[in-house]
Amino acid sequence: MTAQLTEYIEKINHYSKENIEEILHVLTQGVNRITRLNRCRVYLEDLTSGTLSCVIATGLHAREIQDISFPINTNAFLISRVYATQEPTAQNDISDLISDRARELAQRFTINTSYMVPMIHNNRAIGVLCVDSSRTSQTMNPDQRQQLIDFLNQTTPTLNHARKYHQQLLLARQIDKQKKQAAASHMLKSAVRLIGNLSLASVLIPTPQDADNEVERLQILATHQLSQRRITVVTLHCRQRHHY
């Protein structure tokens, strides 16, 4: 380990469970330092959706890549197999991929070679790291691969602790949102029964202001229209993700 990699490890392990974004940022810096490549992806398991979700990507097409997730229980995708078998795997030719969808994604994001490493904590995989290149001749030597595995072994426990905390927060927020929507629907149904002949009724709540926007906004939790005579729940400001 070089002095800088040791510094990355110490910095990651100094973070608390609330700092998952900072942990991932430093982690990818260390990966790029080891591999001398600027493209990598980190997938973490999300047991609530049964997927491996891309939590961070660097380099070409990083933003689009983060919108793609893979199912955990399948042999159709190499990432899912690496997660299940806990064995590092090199993808040296996209024509060898058995899934048409996998080949389509590799071509779309110009990933011609990839080295995939399971992220393991307490003898179980919690995710997969992919080191990518658009060049077919770009490969990692054995020393780089071993150094990458050693680096992950020393940082994955901290990342896993933050991952669990982050997913618990997301789950709690989702449950809270569902409770609010159920209460809003109940309020509207009661209003319709009591008042009758309503042309339009909605349940609105204030939304948090953006850091750079002082204008207050409202979020529609539920709405009722006379023509439809039904309750419609509307959720706003949700980021679209694609699951394959």
* Residue among 108, 110, 92, 114 at smallest CA distance from 35: 114
Residue 42's SS3 state is strand
Q: Are residues 14 and 73 in the same domain?
A: yes
Q: Are residues 165 and 119 in the same domain?
A: yes
pLDDT digits over 10-27, tens only?
999 999 889 999 999 999
Per-residue pLDDT of the chain (244 residues; tens, 9 = 90+): 588 899 999 999 999 889 999 999 999 999 999 999 999 999 999 877 889 999 999 999 999 999 999 999 888 899 999 999 999 999 888 887 888 888 999 999 999 999 999 999 999 999 999 999 988 766 788 999 999 999 999 999 999 999 988 787 766 666 667 666 676 676 666 666 666 555 555 665 666 655 555 555 666 656 655 544 444 444 334 344 444 5
pLDDT digits over 66-86, tens only?
999 999 988 889 999 999 999
Rounded Cα–Cα distance for residues 231 and 234 (Å) = 10
Q: Does residue 120 fall inside a structural domain? A: yes
Q: Are residues 216 and 95 in the same domain?
A: no
Q: Return the pLDDT at 240.
A: 42
Structure tokens at 155: 């940082």
Q: Are residues 55 and 145 in the same domain?
A: yes
Q: Return the pLDDT at 166.
A: 74
115 Cβ partners below 8 Å, 6+ apart? 35, 88, 89, 90, 91, 130, 131, 139, 140, 145, 148
Q: Are residues 191 and 130 in the same domain?
A: no
Q: Are residues 164 and 146 in the same domain?
A: yes
Q: State pTM to two decimals.
A: 0.72
Q: Are residues 73 and 115 in the same domain?
A: yes
Domain residue limits at 27: 3-170
Beta bridge partners, 42, equal 56, 129
Q: Does residue 175 fall inside a structural domain? A: no
Which of the listed residues 138, 170, 202 is the one where a domain comes to its end? Answer: 170
Which of the listed residues 145, 170, 195 is the one where a domain comes to its end? Answer: 170
